[in-house]
Structure 1
Amino acid sequence: MEQWIREYIRASGAPDITSLRAALTTTPPDQLLQLITTIRGSKSYTALLLAISRDHPVVAHLLLTPLRGIADELLFVKVEGGHTALHRAVLKGDRELVELILHTVSSGKKYELIAVKDGGGYTALTEAAVRGNTEIVETLLISLSVEQRVSLLNIQDIFLNTALHSATYMGHTAALQTMLTSIPPDKVSALLSIKNRDSRTPLEYAESMGRKETVELLKSWKQPVLAAHAVTYQKFAALHQADKLKSKALTNQGEELAESKQQIGALQKENNRKTAALANQREELIKLKEELVESKQQISDLQEADNRKTAELASQREESQQQVVALQEANNQMTAALANQREESQQQVVALQEANNQMTADMAAMMERLNRLDIYLRTPTDTDETGDQLHEPQG
């Protein structure tokens, strides 16, 4: 907000209203008041006085609205010519802004603000009377009590002219009529008797200027007060009462606005807390994401390692299967060889058995021959106990 005010004072163009609204929403009223009051441009212009002087009424409204009841110091700041923000608003003919200023200043300072004189002794009412701005004249007067109106209309500038003299000089009859009807009938005569530096009353001033319409109006006030004036005065009193009610309503709105700002502040704090929590969560999520990426990489590495191991196992399995096949083939070959060997062994056994049998037979034959040989060797007469011949002679 401070940066915005400094840039606005240095620049000449209108600001970004959206950005200004956002800045004002987050700036406490007391801090805003201090910034506007202390940061000045050339000729002691504040941001408020610049906004009014540069015809930026929206900016002025945005700056003043949050400051209701606390902006007295700011509103009494004077610039060149002794003008306050109220003088400048009257010069611009901005009735709404005049009304806003009157509802922003504290009630005890309202008359004092309207009665501030510039370098020429002009009050805000005098400025409005000179310009014949009847609406602003009415706005200024209905904001004051009867006593304050009378006092204000008695104020004289450096030429001892009152606001009545100024309106008479310019021939602004409607503004003159509004000022006269704002006070009780018994106070009119005294006001119309005030003389300026030339020792002229408002009526004499009008006559010297040749303001026929104004002369006729002022002469009518010299006559016995008409009942119509009493009715008009009551109407003005009703306007004053309505203005008081409006001021009270605006004060209530200001309090509601302050409360809303407090709520907004609390919501912003809560939002900041949540934002911080979300930031922490975001950081945690980022860490988790990094850990997830790292885990994915680890999983990928594990998968690659697993794939390598699977490939190695598959290769080993294939080699094992080949070895099994080779072993099976070798076993089959060995089984076949053993079968052949067994068959050969069986054949050998059979052959051996046959040979054994043959040998047995041969041995039997040999034994038989031996026996025969033995018999042969014996004498032919040898007999056994039976008397049989033991051996037959070999033939």
Structure 2
Amino acid sequence: MEDSLKRYVEDKSIDIAALMEGVKSTKPAQLLRLLLTIRKDSYTAVMRAADEGHIETFCLLLSPLKGIADELLWVKEEKYGRTVLHIAAIRGCSECVDLLLNTVSAEKKNEFAAETNEFGNTAIALAAAWGRGNSIKSILYCFSPPQRVSLLKIQNKTIDTALHRAAYNGHTTTLKIMLESVSLSTVPRLLNMDDKCNRTALEVAEYEGEKECSELLMKWQVKSLAGAVTVAEEKISELQRADREKTDSLAEAHQSIINLQNESDQKLSAVQKKNERQARDIASMQQRLEQLANYLQAAGDTNLTSDQYHDPDS
């Protein structure tokens, strides 16, 4: 098994069926040790499988390691500082990307996807530069929309985002996949990000003469602006509706107070003849009702809030 794995990593002629049989018969702990230690040019066997697109071998190498393979997945090759996820994303091997994200523990999944290479590029940014839309889709749709925004906002050491890298290289479809993965209201946050030259992705596309990318990004700018206007209009309508409801509620409360005042007048009149103490209590209640009525009247006229009324007896 060890010899077969060495030959595979070294990219030599090998009987894949024999290698796969050896993997199946090796205990997970021993397999993990071999996968971590056997390298060529800092490449592990898992990296080699992802790089060559050997999906069946890749799946076989990872499947016994789910739950204990984090150490293997975080290993970086020395030349560019890439993890196996970076390599799989660049090669456009979405099956490998899916398997990797399903293998890493749930609590580390976001951190794993956000890991950068020597130049500060995430797997998404590398895939964007190469136009590997399927890889990007596999990564992004493992996360919630807010998490996708966070991943797409990551900037490399030259302050480029994944959108900048796709625009620079003219990958229109890749741009569309990234923009469609987030809510329309968050699109401006991505489109307005600048690189080290203070250029947005649209400005990069225009500068590089990538007409299709420019047109797509411009359409999304207009689309997101229209969406923002719609949201603003809806909020205004909600506020207007709330104001109407508030006015109606105040009017209803005011009328209730007036009714209570009328009722207290009637009771006062009836009680005055019988009991002087009860009459004083009702008179005090009337005074407080009058204060409430005055407050509600003022609130209806000046939109006072409830904390602006202070009960003098409280």
The TM-score with structure 1 as length reference comes to: 0.53
Give the Cα separation in 2 of the matches to 1:226 and 1:187.
11
Q: How far off is 1:74 after superposition?
A: 0.4
Residue in 2 aligned with 1:282? none
Residue in 2 aligned with 1:78? 76
Q: 1:227 to 1:20 in 2, by over 3 A?
A: farther
Residue in 1 aligned with 2:154? 155
Give the Cα separation in 2 of the matches to 1:206 and 1:163.
13
Kindly report which structure 2 residues correspond to 1:95-114, keeping only aligned pairs within 5 A, or say none.
95-114=94-113
Give the Cα separation in 2 of the matches to 1:62 and 1:184.
37
| Among 63, 67, 90, the residue aligned to 1:65 | 63
Give the Cα separation in 1 of the matches to 2:226 and 2:23.
51
Check conservation: 2:91, 2:132, Cα contact below 8 A.
Answer: no
Check conservation: 1:14, 1:56, Cα contact below 8 A.
Answer: no
Give SS of 2:117's match. Answer: coil
Q: How far off is 1:3 after superposition?
A: 4.0
Percent of matched pairs sharing the same residue: 42
Unaligned runs of 5+ in 2: 228-314
- Counterpart residue identity of residue 41, structure 1: R
Check conservation: 1:36, 1:48, Cα contact below 8 A.
Answer: yes
Residue in 1 aligned with 2:212? 213
| Among 45, 48, 62, the residue aligned to 2:46 | 48
What number of residue pairs does the alignment pair up?
227
- Counterpart residue identity of residue 222, structure 1: Q
Q: Which of structure 1's runs of 4+ aligned residues deviate more than 6 A?
A: none
Deviations 1:283-312 (A, max 9, x none): xxxxxxxxxxxxxxxxxxxxxxxxxxxxxx
Matched, 1:165 2:193: no
Check conservation: 1:129, 1:164, Cα contact below 8 A.
Answer: yes
Q: 1:219 to 1:61 in 2, by over 3 A?
A: same
Q: 1:212 to 1:22 in 2, by over 3 A?
A: closer
**Bigger CA drift: 115-124 or 22-31?**
22-31
Give the Cα separation in 2 of the matches to 1:94 and 1:101.
11
Q: Point out the structure with max Rg over C-alpha.
A: 1
Deviations 1:103-139 (A, max 9, x none): 2212222222221111222111011111112211111
Kindly report which structure 2 residues correspond to 1:1-395, keeping only aligned pairs within 5 A, or say none.
1-9=1-9, 11-37=10-36, 39-79=37-77, 80-225=79-224
Give the Cα separation in 2 of the matches to 1:108 and 1:142.
16
Give SS of 1:78's match. Answer: coil
Deviations 1:260-289 (A, max 9, x none): xxxxxxxxxxxxxxxxxxxxxxxxxxxxxx
Give the Cα separation in 2 of the matches to 1:15 and 1:108.
37
Structure with the higher fraction of residues in helix conformation: 1
The TM-score with structure 2 as length reference comes to: 0.66
RMSD: 2.3
Give the Cα separation in 2 of the matches to 1:152 and 1:58.
29
Give the Cα separation in 1 of the matches to 2:210 and 2:48.
37
Q: How far off is 1:227 after superposition?
A: 9.3
Q: 1:160 to 1:188 in 2, by over 3 A?
A: same
